[in-house]
Structure 1
Amino acid sequence: MISKRFKFIVAALTLLLAVQIFTLGQSAAAGKTIEQLPDPEWSYTLPEGYKFWNTIDSLQSKDRMFIQLIKKVKLSANKTKESGKVYASIDRNNGSTSWLYDYSDVINDTPFTRNQFYAASNGYSFFYKTKGSSGYDFSAVDPKGKLKWTKRITHSYAPVVLHSGNVAIVSAVDKKTSSISITEYNQDGKQDRKQNLTNKWTIGMVDVLPNGYVVHNMPEQGVVSVYRNLSTINTPLVTYTAPKSMKEPYLEVLPFKGGSFIIHLSSKNEKLVIGYDTKGKKKWVRTLNEKDQIYITGNNYLIRNDNAYRLYSKDNQLLGKQQIGEIGDKQWYHHMTPSGEITVERQYQWQERPAIIDENTFEGDWAREDFYVLNPGNLQIKYHLSTLWLDNNAGHMYIYAGDGELYLTKDFSDTTVTKYILK
């Protein structure tokens, strides 16, 4: 059921939906205009006591959306406490088989209790929460919301959920044996493999990437090595040493969908990105500007500089350019969505106000929200929503899941999420 409150919001909304087509270096051509949101597919309202929190960083699997929640618990007549250690799993098809998983301990949890939840492509979800002075509890929940297993993990870093559905955990250095270990568990909680590493591996940092690549990063030496998986840990795909001209370089490895990857270097005086194929052969080098930020989207990479975007293929070919707003406008926020697409938005653009505003209704006081969906293959604008909202209703969280599938909640502390299909 759609709440009366949401019906009021929709009634107050003026929407411009423009599907625009870009060619490289050209401005957008006007396309189809829709003057109001389509009818909702469905709405889902949380149980009493829960609110959505940080929906922009939602996760998703094929059929489900996973969104962090916050709950308020009454401890006494005059005292309440909130916890963010809860998440909702929402059925993307109809919202009807949605559920909540609560891993909080309101009495003992503190704001500094580290925790995180994850979602795998097979519908499983995972979470960890620190417990005691050294370690955390790590748990798996099946697609129906049932706890499957919990493991006590000590002296290790946060887990990594792999594309395969398995989980990899890298230990801290064991001072007694001068070694580290990488352990991989399957979704049933059984150990698939464990690799103990010594000597050079205890220097620097060891990471496992979601695609299974193992990265050994030694920033003080300016050296990074990339390995295809745990089974090939003795033979790196590549070992790269930063140029001596780079002072205190930060190195990171960013994999493309197909197995090729880039090494990104950033220092106080220089920024580089280097492309490699699936066999570890260096294919190209690009110098970045000081303000350039780099992101992977599928088999392409995106360079963002304020509100200007450039998209390149894994072979370093320019695929498209896009600029949202005026040059130098820093008030646009961009997001790489779980669907692999790019969204750009700006909210609270207050319009001309009447001389006198009723503080109860704020009638006549409007704010504009602009929301763009960019094609991850060429940066063409797929959708542009330009919406006007009454003051009391301004501020939304947009969750874009691909193929026109859009979810809306109020900014942060809302209790209802609504699904639309943009056409």
Structure 2
Amino acid sequence: MKSLQRFRFIAAILLLLLTVQVLAPGRSAAAGKVIEQLPEPEWSYTLPEGITFWGTIDSLQSKGRMFIPLVKTVTVSATQKKSSGMLYASVDRVNGSANWVYDYSDMANDKPFTAHHFYTTSSGYSYFYKNRGGVPYDLTAVDPNGKLKWTKYITGSYSPVVLDNGNIVIRTLVNMNKASLDITEYNQEGKQLRKLKLTNKWAKGWLEVFPNGYIAHTITNDKDNISSISVYRGLGALTTPLATYTVPQSLINPYLVVKPLSGGSFLIQMDSTNSRVLIGYDANGKKKWVRTLNKGDQIDTTGNNYLVRNDNVYRLYSKDNQLLGKQQIGETGDNDWNFRITPSGEITVENQYQWQERPADIDPETFEGDRAREDFYVLDPGNLQIKHHLSTLWLDYEAGHNYIYAGNGELYLTRGYAPKTISKYLLK
């Protein structure tokens, strides 16, 4: 009896040690269940004639809708067709109904390579701008039902930023004069909330607005080399910076970038010819830690954490620089994986067109053709464990897809080439 109790005790200890090893930060998470066949789609939506999805990897999403860029082709004459990418689809994420297409093209007057872009907010409003005649631009708001709400006409080049609260900020050069710049903020009803004209020190370097409202101001010296960067809490607090990082004079060709985290903390990344560091600051602008970056390290943020990726190895750290998890996708040195942080904050990694070896003996009457594997991973943004692994085989003429992940197992799929149909799946 005592021997049996001793065996059970030792077995329990071994199981506990194994569990600690699997869950300990710095170790690759378990692969989990592999999904080799897609479930039946929840719904599918097919676009109207003459329109296809375009660049679905750049899709945007709000709480209840998906926004996807489109391209349309029209017949101009018996021998000529014309295409435009100035339109987008809004798809109901719940059941695929109440879908609409907003077309802001002017096929007769739009010039090739006309500047344009669209954005969306968490409330379901969308914005787009387009160049008219080379210099003036217009900024237009569309409500969640696809109805035009307002248009603002703006003279001069500008770059919009949609804030987390749904407002939109535009930064524009005044008469192309780099000695000053205008910044205007509108709410989604088109009401102007603020308009600033910045001069003097703001003309040295450049200014960036982030979705959380933070401002980064980079200063250059007389030789146009970056000398410092300051972070401000918002457009209404430009008097005193939260933090300022000054580049040491020993660094060669420095480059600085700010990466805000969701809780108000932020990172400053400094890259130069002879040094690479990442510096963590708390929400009050106090420097908390410094990490030396290796060659090839790429930094991304998700929520209140940051990710260091190098080829196909991923390491996740908290805002306090604590290792939360490590994951390697594929064999060592395998860099054929495409990485993305989705709008839901989750991390996806995929590899398509993995051609499979033909069978040794082929029956011409039953052989369907070559096949390619597509692997699609979803990694947890809190610890890098694998939440979903979709590994599917496709006939060669079916291979190539756009994977759009919206969180909680919600996956959208279109064909890679000129797709007209999008389908929603739930991964479990």
Q: TM-score, normalised by structure 1?
A: 0.91
Deviations 1:163-199 (A, max 9, x none): 1111111121557794222110111111001122221
Tell me whether 1:406 sits opposite 2:407 in the alignment.
no
Question: In the alignment, is the contact (CA less than 8 A) between 1:222 and 1:248 conserved in 2?
Answer: no
166-175 or 43-52: which moved more? 166-175
Deviations 1:348-403 (A, max 9, x none): 00111257989999813110000000000010011111100011111111111000
Deviations 1:53-93 (A, max 9, x none): 11111000000000011111110111111111111000000
Partners of 2:326 and 2:366 in 1: CA distance: 42
Residue in 1 that maps onto 2:82: 81
SS of the residue 2:41 aligns to: coil
Q: Percent identity?
A: 65
SS of the residue 2:164 aligns to: coil
Q: TM-score, normalised by structure 2?
A: 0.89
Residue in 2 that maps onto 1:3: none
Residue in 1 that maps onto 2:354: 349
Provide closer, same or farther for how the CA distance between residues 34 and 330 of structure 1 changes in structure 2, counting only shifts above 3 A: closer
SS of the residue 1:201 aligns to: helix
Residue in 1 that maps onto 2:159: 158
Partners of 1:83 and 1:358 in 2: CA distance: 46
Partners of 2:364 and 2:195 in 1: CA distance: 63
Residue in 2 that maps onto 1:422: 427
2:316 corresponds to which of 299, 311, 320: 311
Partners of 1:284 and 1:290 in 2: CA distance: 20
Gaps of 5+ in 2: 1-21
Deviations 1:217-236 (A, max 9, x none): 12424211111111111111
Partners of 1:224 and 1:361 in 2: CA distance: 65
RMSD over aligned Cα, in angstroms?
Answer: 2.1
Deviations 1:80-124 (A, max 9, x none): 111111110000001111100111122333442111110101100
Provide closer, same or farther for how the CA distance between residues 202 and 377 of structure 1 changes in structure 2, counting only shifts above 3 A: same
The aligned amino acid for 2:270 is: L
Tell me whether 1:261 sits opposite 2:262 in the alignment.
no
Residue in 1 that maps onto 2:38: 37
Question: In the alignment, is the contact (CA less than 8 A) between 1:397 and 1:412 conserved in 2?
Answer: no
For residues 150-299 of structure 1, what are the structure 2 equivalents within 5 Å? 150-174=151-175, 178-219=179-220, 220-299=225-304
SS of the residue 2:321 aligns to: coil
Question: In the alignment, is the contact (CA less than 8 A) between 1:45 and 1:415 conserved in 2?
Answer: yes
Residue in 2 that maps onto 1:90: 91
Question: Per-residue deviation at 1:134?
Answer: 1.8
For residues 23-62 of structure 1, what are the structure 2 equivalents within 5 Å? 23-29=24-30, 31-32=32-33, 34-62=35-63
Question: In the alignment, is the contact (CA less than 8 A) between 2:326 and 2:384 conserved in 1?
Answer: yes
Provide closer, same or farther for how the CA distance between residues 176 and 293 of structure 1 changes in structure 2, counting only shifts above 3 A: closer
Tell me whether 1:388 sits opposite 2:380 in the alignment.
no
Deviations 1:4-32 (A, max 9, x none): xxxxxxxxxxxxxxxxx865344554644
Question: In the alignment, is the contact (CA less than 8 A) between 2:140 and 2:151 conserved in 1?
Answer: yes
Partners of 1:321 and 1:30 in 2: CA distance: 12
218-227 or 327-336: which moved more? 218-227
Question: In the alignment, is the contact (CA less than 8 A) between 1:63 and 1:91 conserved in 2?
Answer: yes
Provide closer, same or farther for how the CA distance between residues 288 and 33 of structure 1 changes in structure 2, counting only shifts above 3 A: closer
The aligned amino acid for 1:269 is: N
Question: Per-residue deviation at 1:202?
Answer: 1.1
Question: In the alignment, is the contact (CA less than 8 A) between 1:294 and 1:302 conserved in 2?
Answer: yes
Tell me whether 1:337 sits opposite 2:338 in the alignment.
no
Deviations 1:32-55 (A, max 9, x none): 455532221111111111111111
SS of the residue 1:171 aligns to: strand
SS of the residue 2:285 aligns to: coil
How many positions carry a matched residue from both structures?
A: 403
For residues 127-166 of structure 1, what are the structure 2 equivalents within 5 Å? 127-166=128-167
The aligned amino acid for 2:356 is: Q
Question: Per-residue deviation at 1:201?
Answer: 0.7
Residue in 1 that maps onto 2:125: 124
SS of the residue 1:159 aligns to: strand
Provide closer, same or farther for how the CA distance between residues 356 and 130 of structure 1 changes in structure 2, counting only shifts above 3 A: farther
Partners of 2:63 and 2:46 in 1: CA distance: 21
